[in-house]
Structure 1
Amino acid sequence: MWETGGYLGLFLSAFGAATLLPLQSEAVLLALLWAKQHPALVLLIVATAGNVAGSLVNWVLGRYLEHWRERKWFPVSAQRLERVQHTYHRYGRWSLLLSWMPIIGDPLTVVAGLMREPWWSFLLIVTLAKAGRYGALYLMTLGWV
């Protein structure tokens, strides 16, 4: 049970951390790595899968966000939305390599959906970014970097 709970907890924390919720998954990953009760590669895969799945939720939200643009409760002004769209056009899909970063990464995945980034390129680039972050964290944990 502990094994399943560890993986499930890591997946859920990584999923939540990738959404717009203010959560962190790194501490859970580090605790599980230090405990050495799970294969490290499996932990990295589970964390990456959870984080990418959360980012995909953001992408889906972005795809449908503009439908409510004219509503009073819409969280972004028209000018701000235009600026964001212009910036995404300027840097393109490769800006998704920054999706691992705190503060800007989660909104960036929403913007990618808003900008109609194809799901296949979104998943490829975001997976590379998220796996790279967790891989770097793993290497630093082991003292290899």
Structure 2
Amino acid sequence: MMELGAEATLLGLFISGLVSATLLPGGSEALFSYMLYQGQFAEFPLFIAVTSGNALGGMITFLMGWWLATRYPLKTFDKPQHLRAQRWLEQWGPLALLLSWLPLVGDPLCFIAGWLRGRFWLSMLMILLGKAARYLVLIAVVG
């Protein structure tokens, strides 16, 4: 059984992952890497905490796009990263969401996939896999 301090630390990592995956800035990779390097926690609980938070954040961003499209329909996007995300989604569909971990374009990918009414469950799976891949690479590099 984990101590309260350990649970609070994992909750903090979860929240860091969640905030990092929304349209707000965050640094879950740095916190996750630091915690891996410190070696005070097993890799698996850290991986689950940060991946679940980050994937949930991406899913929230997807749902924000879905909801906002019904309220404020736009014909086109104007920011370069939004246009790039739209092109990728139109070309690759939900598979483009495997790139949801990318800086600058990952959050717009999730948002625009929702806006374009991407296939819900497949989109959720691709977001989860994309987010998990980033942290698996960090485990391989740092852990």
Deviations 1:56-84 (A, max 9, x none): 110110111123326xxxxxx64327956
Q: Are the structure 2 counterparts of residues 112 and 79 from structure 1 closer, same or farther at C-alpha, using a change threshold of 3 Å? A: closer
Query: How do residues 62-141 of structure 1 correspond to structure 2 at under 5 angstroms?
Result: 62-69=65-72, 78-80=75-77, 85=86, 87-141=88-142
Aligned residues: 136
The answer to whether the aligner puts 1:16 opposite 2:13 as a matched pair is no
Query: How do residues 30-41 of structure 1 correspond to structure 2 at under 5 angstroms?
Result: 30-41=33-44
Shift >3 Å, 4+ stretches = 81-87
Partners of 2:93 and 2:118 within 8 A in 1: no
- Taking every aligned residue pair, what percent have the same amino acid on both sides? 34
Please give the alpha-carbon distance, in whole angstroms, between the structure 2 residues aligned to 1:59 and 1:80.
Answer: 16
RMSD across aligned positions (CA):
2.0
Partners of 1:11 and 1:50 within 8 A in 2: yes
Partners of 1:6 and 1:32 within 8 A in 2: no
Please give the alpha-carbon distance, in whole angstroms, between the structure 1 residues aligned to 2:55 and 2:125.
Answer: 10
Deviation at 1:115, TM superposition (A): 1.4
Partners of 1:18 and 1:52 within 8 A in 2: yes
Normalised by the size of structure 2, how large is the TM-score? 0.86
Normalised by the size of structure 1, how large is the TM-score? 0.85
Amino acid at match of 2:126: I
